[in-house]
């Protein structure tokens, strides 16, 4: 949009100018078809209502603010073929920064888009300062409008504030190439969409705060284990990061991948109850010592289950040392009886144990670790999880 456009032209080839002209022509044709199509105002209002409902539902599917913004502008453009739909975030330094944009102007003039704009400038700056919407019927008559190029500047603009917890977080802006393009119904639609985005951003911020508290608690909990066995605490971090990536590769939702990460961080927490001389013994354990060592899985599951915030992770923690063929502990679970999170943790734990120095063995190279994963796949480990792990290792 011209609000986000640099004021000078960049040199372009004749072919590029033709491509841009064709894109603008195509957009204007789509706009005319939208306004004169069958159904008229009723069809347009129905499309607005469907879009608002669809966006409200889809915004709840992610806690990533950039994903939310990109989803919103794409939906707006694809539904109504706006010249431009864009979202700017207002930062603490008083600068509006472009988060996402979609539409003919973004596609055609993307090298002109200004990524930063002072809150003191333009229509969007006015909206951000006042916290109220602005419907500009003709940009050439608006005192705050930042003109760029008479031939390609939009003539209509609708900007609405995005409020998060009562404060202006940013601006949602749509534009059209002809004057008087937007009506009061458009204002209602865009304000409703901005309100949905504001609520989703607020929710994402609260989730982020909760996760930071959660992680701090986890760190404090694992520090108790680290005091007894420094290897375990460091090892858990590596296993957790890898496990979360494998979970995503297997198609799990980000929220589920996050739970896999937390369970991986906690999967050896039961070692707090194991004598230090067993944890750090440089030679092989006796059968009696192995019995004691293996008890940590059940102890860990019980400990985690007692903490309300972590209770949903208890089953994965308890089962993280089970084997696909039923030869693991503490319950001898077989195949898909083992929670998927535990199967992921087990595979990543096996890999990290091979490539890390242990009291009784030096670290092995990645190639040998991968060969060992393939060897035990289908017996100790879930084949599907092993394949996803190997794919992840290939790109990391």
Residue 86 β-bridge partners: 101, 173
Q: Do residue 251 and residue 198 come from a single domain?
A: no
How far is Cα 118 from Cα 190, in angstroms, rounded to an integer? 23
**Structural domain includes residue 60:** yes
pLDDT for 34 equals 55
Statement to judge: residues 153 and 282 lie in one domain: no
| DSSP bridge partners of 168 | 163
Q: Are 333 and 382 in contact (CB under 8 A)?
A: no
pLDDT tens, per residue, the chain with 396 residues: 445 543 334 445 444 544 554 465 455 555 555 554 545 555 666 666 666 666 766 666 677 888 888 888 888 877 776 778 899 999 999 999 999 888 776 665 555 556 788 999 999 999 999 999 999 999 999 999 888 777 777 889 999 999 998 899 999 999 888 899 888 888 888 888 888 888 888 888 877 776 677 666 666 666 666 656 555 556 678 899 999 999 999 999 888 998 999 999 889 888 888 888 888 787 888 999 999 999 999 999 998 888 777 889 999 999 999 999 999 999 999 999 999 999 999 999 999 989 987 665 678 899 999 999 999 999 999 999 999 999 999 997
Cis omega (within 30 of 0) for bond into 330: yes
DSSP letters for 328-356: -SSS---GGGS-HHHHHHHHHHHHHHHSS
Domain identity same for 192 and 241: no
Token duo for residue 328: 């693991």
Kindly state whether residues 189 and 245 are assigned to the same domain: no
Q: Do 291 and 361 belong to one domain?
A: yes
Structure tokens given for 184: 């009061």
Q: Are residues 126 and 174 in the same domain?
A: yes
Domain contains 220: no
Of residues 266, 276, 197, the one with CA closest to residue 230: 276
- 73 and 144 share a domain? yes
- Residue 45: its pLDDT value, please? 61
Same domain, 181 and 322: no
Burial 158-174 (b: 16+ CB within 10 A, else e): bbbbbbbeeebbbbbbb
Same domain, 27 and 150: yes
Same domain, 235 and 311: yes
Q: What's the total number of domains in the chain?
A: 2
What global pTM score does this model have? Answer: 0.55
**Positions of E strands within 103-184:** 116-118, 134-136, 156-164, 167-176
Conformation bin of residue 14: beta by default, left when phi > 0, alpha when psi is -120 to 50: alpha
CATH number at residue 371: 1.10.3210.10
Domain holding 195: CATH number? 3.30.450.40
Place of tokens 């063995």: 361
Q: Do the domain assignments include residue 218?
A: no
Q: Residue 192 domain-assigned? A: yes
Answer yes or no: is 76 within a domain.
yes
Residues 56 and 162 in one domain: yes
Of the CA atoms within 13 Å of residue 144, those in its CB half-sphere come to 18
CA distances to 323, 324, 326, 335, 349 from 380, rounded to whole Å, are 5, 5, 8, 10, 12
The verdict on residue 243 lying in a domain is yes
Q: 22 with 170, same domain?
A: yes
Q: What is the dihedral of CA 161, 162, 166, 167, to 10 degrees?
A: -70
Structural domain boundaries enclosing 100: 2-204
Give domain status of residue 370, yes or no. Answer: yes
**Is the residue at 251 inside a domain?**
yes
CB 355 within 8 A of CB 363: yes
């Amino acid at each position: 949009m011209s609000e986000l456009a640099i004021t000078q032209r960049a040199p372009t080839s004749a072919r590029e100018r033709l491509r841009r002209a064709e894109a603008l022509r195509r957009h204007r044709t789509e706009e005319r078809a939208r306004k004169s199509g069958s159904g008229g105002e009723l069809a347009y209002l129905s499309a607005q209502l469907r879009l608002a409902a669809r966006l409200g539902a889809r915004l709840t599917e992610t806690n990533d603010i950039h994903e939310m913004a990109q989803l919103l502008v794409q939906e707006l453009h694809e539904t109504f073929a706006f010249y431009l739909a864009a979202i700017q975030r207002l930062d603490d330094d008083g600068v509006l920064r472009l988060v996402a944009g979609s539409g003919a102007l973004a596609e055609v003039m993307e090298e002109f888009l200004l990524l930063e704009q002072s809150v003191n400038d333009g229509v969007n700056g006015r909206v951000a300062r006042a916290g109220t919407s602005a419907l500009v019927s003709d940009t050439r008559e608006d005192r705050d409008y930042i003109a760029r190029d008479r031939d390609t500047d939009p003539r209509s603009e609708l900007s609405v504030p995005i409020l998060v917890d009562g404060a202006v977080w940013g601006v949602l802006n749509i534009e059209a190439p002809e004057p008087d393009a937007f009506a009061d119904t458009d204002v209602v639609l865009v304000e409703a969409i901005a309100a949905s985005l504001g609520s989703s951003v607020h929710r994402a911020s609260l989730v982020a705060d909760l996760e930071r508290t959660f992680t701090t608690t986890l760190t404090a909990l694992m520090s108790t284990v680290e005091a007894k066995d420094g290897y375990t605490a460091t090892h858990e971090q590596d296993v957790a990061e890898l496990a979360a990536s494998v979970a995503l590769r297997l198609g799990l939702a980000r929220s589920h991948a996050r739970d896999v990460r937390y369970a991986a961080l906690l999967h050896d927490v039961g070692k707090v109850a194991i004598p230090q001389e067993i944890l750090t013994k440089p030679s092989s354990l006796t059968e009696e010592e192995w019995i004691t060592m293996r008890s940590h899985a059940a102890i860990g599951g019980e400990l985690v289950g007692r903490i309300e915030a972590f209770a949903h992770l208890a089953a994965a923690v308890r089962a993280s040392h089970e084997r696909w063929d039923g030869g693991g502990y503490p319950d001898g679970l077989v195949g898909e009886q083992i929670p998927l999170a535990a199967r992921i943790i087990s595979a990543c734990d096996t890999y990290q144990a091979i490539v890390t120095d242990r009291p009784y063995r030096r670290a092995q190279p990645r190639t040998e670790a991968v060969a060992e994963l393939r060897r035990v796949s289908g017996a100790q480990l879930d084949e599907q999880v092993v394949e996803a792990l190997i794919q992840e290792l290939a790109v990391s």
